[in-house]
Amino acid sequence: MNILEFLVKPPELFSYNIKKLDDISGSFNGITTSFSITSNSTAVTPPSSQSLIVNLGGVIQDPSDDYSVSGSNLIFSTAPVNGLSFSGVSLGPAI
């Protein structure tokens, strides 16, 4: 694809791999660190932790320190406590 094709392609052609992750905060208990990654109840398997944007309690988490990914599991360094909010986005496969 040349630069002109890139510039004239509609944005929806580039966003099909971006997925909003399902809310896992209902499972937070201060003990569990590993959670299934899903979007619309379908497993998501990101290529790396850098392929996710994870927000806990309004704070964007650092993929190098705060969490990792193993298959379709999100593993936090510290177990999230009950009542903490969660939101996440998968940016899709590596290009």
Q: What is the pLDDT of residues 4-58, one digit of tens each?
A: 555 555 555 555 689 999 999 999 999 999 999 999 999 999 999 999 999 999 9
pTM over 0.85: no
Element spanning 6, H or E: helix 3-8
Q: CA–CA separation, 21 vs 61, rounded Å?
A: 15
Backbone angles phi, psi at 37, to 5 degrees: -95, 120
Rg (CA), the chain: 15
Cβ-contact 28, 84 below 8 angstroms = yes
pLDDT at 61 (0 to 100): 98
pLDDT at 93 (0 to 100): 73
Query: Bigger pLDDT: 70 or 12?
Result: 70
Q: CA–CA separation, 1 vs 53, rounded Å?
A: 27
